Structure 1
Amino acid sequence: MKKSILPFLLFGLIATVAFAETPIKDKLIKTGADQTEKYLSYLKGKRVALLANPTTIVGDKHFVDSMLKKGVNIVKVFGPEHGFRGNASAGIKVADEIDPTSGVKVVSLYGPKRKPSKDDMADVDLMIFDIQDVGCRFYTYINVLSHIMEACAENGKELLILDRPNPNGYLVDGPILDMKFKSGIGMFPIPISHGMTIAEFAQMINGEGWLPNKMQAKLKIIKVANYAHDMDYTLPVKPSPNLNTQQSIMLYPTTCLFEGTVLNHGRGTMFPFTIFGSPLYKGVYDFSFTPVSIKGMAETPLHMNKECYGLDLRNVDIAELKKKNRIQIEWLIELYNKFPAKEQFFDRSQSNQIGDINKLIGNDVFRKQVAEGKSVEEIYASWEPGLSEYKTMRKKYLLYP
């Protein structure tokens, strides 16, 4: 019998994804933000600005709302992609506003500008960065981090980082970005899955001289308590509209690569980055789904209102995935080999979707390797020696075992 997600779509549209704080043996992982005793007195008497989104929480409350109640003088908030409160779809420009909940001015860094201006920083004594990352080169918050660090360095401001775990912190894998393909989804010569927290990555940016003119940002870091890179961590809040399940977050280092193909990767359903398909796979795969317009997630998804056939990875065992300790390029290779129009597989020119496999993977070799039928092991081998060199360099900046 043909399997379909259509019966579950309505349920998914009204369901709330369960995210929870993660117990570690007899202790809980505590984010930097949750350790208020380590920074609250430091904020008092300062004009504070922060880079924030819906993941910027203390306990179950937004950091801004919580700090305002504690008397902290928050003069403005900078909002990244999706906006401060997370109301904008992926890729949609965000305007400046006054936050209706707190009354705080919100300056968008996903509109005409990507970093705070000199005027933006003039009335700021201390900048805070507190956003949940998922540990991938193409997840753009590490780019935002570098822009914030640059603004702080230029204007002589300190940056306080309230660190958070990387749910994919166990994984360091993928080809190093060929800087010929530097873009908004890849700014640094790192692998796809970098295996660092935001604070560790900030130290790498400083240490490797990646800011313009090798500037250095002054950093103050509140570390995550009771954390190591290989620990499981279930996010308390979805990090972005289309990473709405823990499964999607854990598959993301692999499945974001499908943005560089003509396949729908679950956008237009409640299961982004976990299901993949095309109308052209009819008769090849039994599993099917139909992307539809979903406000705030995917308003014009690829193959909208067309039945797509393909792979369902929602039940992949994440514990087994972690044991493999690799990006699973097998799935993409399988779908390429079974695609009836291979010359179109990586061609996004006919769609309104953003995606370039060379920018996502970080080179112009991978596409050719897949087309030439190179084995998985041959492709993995081609990522060396760059990957091993990165792993050695990364050790200098680690804050956690």
Structure 2
Amino acid sequence: MKENFDVLNDFNRIGLFANQTSYDFSENKYLIEILGEKLRIVFVPEHGFFSELQDQVTLDNASAYKILNPNAEYVSVYGSNKHYSLRFPPFKLLELECLIIDIQDIGVRYFTYITSVFYLFETLKINKIDLPVFVVDRPNPNIGRIEGTPLQEEYKSFIGVAGLPHCYGLSLFDVVKWLKEK
């Protein structure tokens, strides 16, 4: 993985939206560790970085993550701020030169990672933030498996982006392309 990050050489203030799947087996390290001092903010999804939290439980203390990268700030995008609950705080995005999304998904719409990514792009658009976003494209274990009907607009929520079928069989990169077109 590390050899594919030459594009990041020009950036000194990097953000990362990731969980425990953001791991490079050739380095035996998490991307949080690999990015080192350039990593400024880690946006932590629902359930925490290591999926250690029950659903609907907020991350109130991220000190355990400091072992991976003591220089980074850890910001929960799930419920830790009443003004930005479920959202990426725009003022935090403005502190960055780029953002990396590295979170493996299994292609089922009620997993909240995709909704968080959707909200990220919505926040960037609404606040007119021109932030380069890089997606680490990991294979979806259910790739190609599509089941169910697309979620209707009136039923969208944090556990379902409108337009996605129950099982959508796309990799994160393909979903991001679809979300950007939406």
Fold similarity call, TM over 0.5: yes
CA RMSD of aligned residues (A): 1.8
State the SS of the aligned residue for 1:49: strand
Q: What SS does the corresponding residue of 2:49 show, helix, strand or coil?
A: coil
**AA aligned opposite 1:64:** I
- 2:91 and 2:129 map into 1 onto residues whose CA distance is 10
Give the equivalent residue in structure 1 for 2:59.
94
Please give the alpha-carbon distance, in whole angstroms, between the structure 2 residues aligned to 1:54 and 1:91.
19
- Write the distance in 1 (CA, Å) between the matches of 2:178 and 2:15: 23
CA–CA distance in 1 between the matches of 2:50 and 2:167?
26
Residues 152 and 159, structure 1, Cα contact 8 Å, conserved in 2: no
For residue 39 of structure 1, give the secondary structure of its aligned residue in structure 2: helix
Tell me whether 1:118 sits opposite 2:127 in the alignment.
Answer: no
Name the structure 2 match of 1:235: none
In the TM superposition, residue 41 of structure 1 has moved relative to its aligned partner by: 4.7
153, 156, 162: which one pairs with 1:179?
153
Change (3 A) 1:122 1:190: closer
Count of equivalent residues: 171
CA deviation string 1:60-84 (max 9, x = no partner): 321111221xxx5001100001112
- Map residues 206-221 of structure 1 onto 2, 5 A cutoff: 206-207=180-181, 209=182
Cα distance between partner residues in 2 of 1:184 and 1:202: 16
Q: Aligned equivalents of 1:184 and 1:142: distance in 2?
A: 9
Aligned to 1:105: 73
Structure 1 residue 170: Cα displacement? 2.3
User: Match of 2:43, as an amino acid?
Assistant: F
Q: 2:31 aligns with which of 63, 66, 89?
A: 63
Q: Which has the larger radius of gyration?
A: 1
1:81 corresponds in structure 2 to 46
Q: Quick one: distance in 2 between partners of 1:96 and 1:158?
A: 28
C-alpha deviation, 1:178, in angstroms: 2.4
SS at match of 1:106: strand
Matched residue, 2:177: 203
Work out whether residues 148 and 166 of structure 2, in 8 Å CA contact, stay in contact via their aligned partners in 1: yes
Q: Which amino acid in structure 2 is aligned with residue 92 of structure 1? A: V
User: Which of 90, 104, 115 is the aligned partner of 1:143?
Assistant: 115
What CA distance in whole angstroms lies between the structure 1 residues aligned with 2:48 and 2:99? 18
| CA-CA distance at 1:44 after TM superposition | 4.5
Give the CA deviation at 1:140. Answer: 1.2
Residues 132 and 164 in structure 1, CA contact (< 8 A), matched pair in contact too: yes
Identical columns (%): 25
Paired with 1:117 and 1:190, the residues of 2 have a C-alpha distance of 25
What amino acid sits opposite 1:55 in the alignment?
Answer: T
Which has the higher mean CA deviation after the structures are superposed, 127-136 or 110-119?
110-119
Long gaps (5+) in structure 1: 1-33, 210-401
- Matched with 1:190 is 164
Structure 1 contact 177–188 (Cα < 8 Å) conserved: yes
- How much does 1:152 deviate? 3.4
Partner residue, 1:321: none
- Deviation at residue 137 of structure 1 after TM alignment: 1.0
Q: Report the CA distance between 1:177 and its aligned residue.
A: 1.3
Aligned residue type for 2:22: T
Kindly state the Cα deviation for residue 43 of structure 1 after the two structures are TM-superposed.
3.8
Q: 1:134 is aligned with what amino acid?
A: I
CA distance in 1, matches of 2:57, 2:9: 33
Q: Which residue identity is paired with 1:129?
A: I
Relative contact order higher in (CA < 8 Å, ≥ 6 apart): 2
The 8 Å contact of residues 18 and 45 in structure 2, kept in 1 or not, is answered as yes
CA distance in 2 between counterparts of 1:123 and 1:190 reads: 32
Match of 2:108, as an amino acid? C
Structure 1 runs of 4+ aligned residues shifted over 4 Å read none
Cα drift, residue 42 of structure 1: 2.3
Contact 2:17 2:101 survives alignment (8 Å): yes
**1:91 counterpart letter in structure 2:** Q
